[in-house]
C-alpha cells in the first residue's frame, strides 16, 4: 500500500501529516513525501523521521494534479491514498478501508469514510458522514453530497486510478472530484461509516479556489457527460456556469447560459433570479451571491 503526501511550503503542518501516517494501525505501507520545491524547512522536517518506509522525492514546481500523478507513477502498492500536507489521518483509517476492499467485489475501486473539518488553529468546524456507495456516478454528478470532502480521504485501487488516466493536469481546482467521476463510471465505491480524516480549512483563498477555473471544470463535465444528464441536471450546470461568468464580468455570456438553463427548467425559479440580478452588473451579482451563497447553485 502506498501513502502519498504532496507538500509545498507547509513545514509547520507537514510534521503532523507524517505523524498521522506513521501512527496508522495498519503498518505495511510505503510513505512517499513529494516536495514541490519548497523554500521552507520541509526537507528538514522529513529528515527528522527515521523510518525506512519513508521516501522523499523533491521535484520541480508543478500543480498539485501533476504532483499526485508523479506519486502515482512512483507508487509500488496495490492501493494508494493521498494526503494533503495540512490534513491528518485518524489511526484506524487504512486498516478499516483495506478491510472493505478485502471483502468487496473486484469492481471496487474506491473506499472513503467520514471526515471532520478543522480550522487553521485546529478547532473542529463540522463533521460529515458518508452516504454514497455502489454505483455513485449519478450521485456525484448531482453534487448533492460532500462525498470525500478532500483528496486526503479515499483509499483507491492503484490499477483503477491508472486505468482512468490519473488526475487531469489541466485542472487547478476540483481535480480530485473530476477523477472520482471517471472512477465512478467504471468502478464501484464503498465507505466505512466512521471519521477517518481531519481536513484543515484556511481563511484565505487557496490556490485552487478560482471562480474561472471552477467554471472550466463544470464546462468540462457538462461537455463530457451532458448526454447522460436529464434536462434538470443540465440546467443545474448551466446555472452554475452562467453565475460564475456573471461574477467574473462576462455578463453577456453568463446571461446566455442562464437563459439556456431557463429553457431546460422553466419552472425552476433560480434561473429567473440569476438573470434579474445579472442586469445589476458584475459587482452586484458577486455581492449578492456572497451573501446568499447557501441558496445559489453557482
* Gap between the Cα atoms of 38 and 270, Å rounded: 44
What Å distances lie between residue 169 and 68, 76, 152, 172, 199, CA to CA?
9, 21, 18, 7, 23
Q: Are 87 and 14 in contact (CB under 8 A)?
A: no
Query: Which domains are assigned to the chain?
Result: 2-200 (3.90.550.10), 211-291 (no CATH)
Q: Which helix (H) or strand (E) holds 261?
A: helix 251-264
Instruction: Give the pLDDT score at 297.
Output: 63
* Gap between the Cα atoms of 224 and 137, Å rounded: 13
Q: Where are the alpha helices (DSSP H) in 40-174?
A: 42-47, 64-74, 93-103, 137-142, 158-163
Classify residue 276 by burial, with Cβ atoms within 10 Å: 0-12, 13-18, 19+. exposed
Lookup: cell for 178: 473530476
Instruction: Return phi, psi of residue 99, to 5°.
Output: -65, -40
Instruction: Give the pLDDT score at 203.
Output: 56
Angle at alpha carbon of residue 8, lines to 208 and 184, rounded to 5°:
50
Lookup: cell for 138: 449519478
Lookup: cell for 265: 427548467
Residues of the chain predicted below pLDDT 70? 203-209, 297-298
Q: Coil, helix or strand for 286? A: helix
260 Cα distance to chain centroid: 28
Q: Where are the beta strands (DSSP E) in 40-187?
A: 54-58, 79-84, 88-89, 108-118, 124-128, 155-157
Show Cβ contacts of residue 193 under 8 Å, excluding neighbours closer than 6 positions: 113, 114, 129, 130
Other residues' Cβ atoms within 10 Å of the Cβ of residue 268: 16
Lookup: cell for 84: 494533503
Instruction: Give the pLDDT score at 122.
Output: 79
Amino acid at each position: 500500500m502506498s501513502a502519498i503526501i504532496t507538500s509545498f511550503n507547509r513545514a509547520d503542518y507537514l510534521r503532523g501529516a507524517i505523524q498521522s501516517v506513521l501512527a496508522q494501525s495498519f503498518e505495511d505501507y510505503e510513505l512517499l513525501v513529494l516536495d514541490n520545491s519548497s523554500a521552507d524547512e520541509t526537507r528538514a522536517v522529513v529528515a527528522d523521521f527515521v523510518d525506512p518506509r519513508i521516501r522523499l522525492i523533491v521535484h520541480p514546481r508543478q500543480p498539485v494534479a501533476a504532483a499526485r500523478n508523479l506519486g502515482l507513477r512512483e507508487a509500488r502498492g496495490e492501493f494508494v491514498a493521498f494526503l494533503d500536507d495540512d490534513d491528518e489521518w485518524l489511526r484506524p483509517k487504512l486498516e478499516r478501508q483495506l478491510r472493505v476492499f478485502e471483502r468487496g467485489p473486484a469492481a471496487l475501486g474506491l473506499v472513503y469514510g467520514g471526515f471532520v473539518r478543522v480550522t487553521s488553529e485546529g478547532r473542529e468546524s463540522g463533521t460529515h458522514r458518508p452516504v454514497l456507495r455502489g454505483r455513485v456516478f449519478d450521485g456525484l454528478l448531482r453534487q448533492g453530497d460532500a462525498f470525500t470532502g478532500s483528496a486526503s480521504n479515499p483509499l483507491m485501487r492503484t490499477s483503477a486510478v491508472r486505468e482512468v488516466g490519473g488526475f487531469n493536469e489541466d485542472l487547478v481546482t476540483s481535480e480530485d472530484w473530476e477523477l472520482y467521476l471517471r472512477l465512478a463510471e467504471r468502478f464501484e465505491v464503498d465507505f466505512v461509516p466512521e471519521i477517518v480524516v481531519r481536513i484543515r480549512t484556511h481563511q484565505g483563498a487557496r490556490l485552487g479556489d478560482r471562480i474561472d477555473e471552477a467554471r472550466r471544470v463544470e464546462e468540462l463535465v457538462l461537455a463530457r457527460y451532458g448526454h447522460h444528464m436529464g434536462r434538470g441536471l443540465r440546467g443545474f450546470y448551466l446555472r452554475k456556469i452562467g453565475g460564475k461568468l456573471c461574477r467574473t464580468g462576462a455578463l453577456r455570456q453568463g446571461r446566455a447560459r442562464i437563459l439556456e438553463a431557463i429553457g431546460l427548467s422553466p419552472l425552476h425559479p433560480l434561473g429567473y433570479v440569476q438573470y434579474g440580478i445579472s442586469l445589476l452588473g458584475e459587482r452586484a451579482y458577486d455581492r449578492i451571491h456572497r451573501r446568499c451563497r447557501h441558496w445559489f447553485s453557482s
